[in-house]
Amino acid sequence: MKTAFVIIHYNDYPSTSNLLENIKSYKFLDLVVVVDNGSTDSSYEKLKKYENKKIKILREKENKGFAAGLNRGSCYAIEKLKDCFLILSNADLLIGSEENLIELTDAFKQKDLGVVAPVVVQQNTISRGWRLPTIQTEILGNLPILGKKIYQKRISYQEKHYQTPFSIVEAVSGCFFLVRSKFLEEIGFFDENTFLYYEEYILGMKAKKTKFKIAVCNEVTVIHNHSVSVDRSLNRIHKFKRLKESQTYFCKEYLQGKRWELFFLHLNKNLTLGLLYLRNFFGIQ
């Protein structure tokens, strides 16, 4: 089966260029698609120099969000390759070797897998997939100071869960993963109602309604220079607001949160937002 590599790009030519230089000679890739998600700088023009029979640079007139970019690149790849594997990636990724990607695609020999992801190292943390949260977990996760620790404890698997070559999980990091095109078509692609964040949670919820499973390959690792491109265009408070917009949508539409639950979610969000404004005012990082 053929394989396409889809990169979502926004105002970050250095990262996208580095990734293209990394993968452009990979023989097992049949197609590389870069989706310029409405960049406001000159990076699209710079990226066009990479275009050839194998590499396609697509341009969106405006940035409609990460999920929309994934859909544009995925649809183009499926149109060209038909039934295929799709590697979906942020621009700021460091990949070990072509063999690592081949190992990940080989995992699809298990017919029930729809999504396969590597271990992702970012900001000195290791991401190997997690459980989907409940509405109660999302509310508690919004608590100032203690929320993050409570949240991680509730969604994390025990260490023994990762002692095999592949581990079945409910969600994986959205910065880099592989999908089977048939799975993506069956779930109706990505939900474009989120601009940024929670794409991986929604993907996990959609997967639960199919026969397909999500797996992490514990023997392949990639490095994510987390939020390099996001930090260039969004400040801390703006990022937090984007995150909470996506969280609210996820809790309402996919976790079917009740009115009182959404009220507490909103209340806790505002408490944390207030602390962020104070830290920003006093220059506290």
User: What are the pLDDT digits (tens) for 141-159?
Assistant: 988 889 999 999 999 999 9
State residue 59's pLDDT score: 97
Q: Pick from 224, 208, 113, 104: which is nearest to 165 by CA?
A: 104
- Residues (pLDDT < 70) of the chain are 226-234, 285
* CATH number, domain containing residue 18: 3.90.550.10
State residue 41's pLDDT score: 94
Q: How many domains does the chain have?
A: 1
Domain around 157:
2-281
Q: Which residues contact 152 (CB under 8 A, 6 or more apart)?
A: none
**Alpha helices for the chain (secondary structure H):** 13-23, 43-47, 66-81, 98-106, 135-141, 147-155, 181-186, 199-207, 228-233, 236-253, 259-281
Residues 16, 160: Cα–Cα separation, whole Å: 36
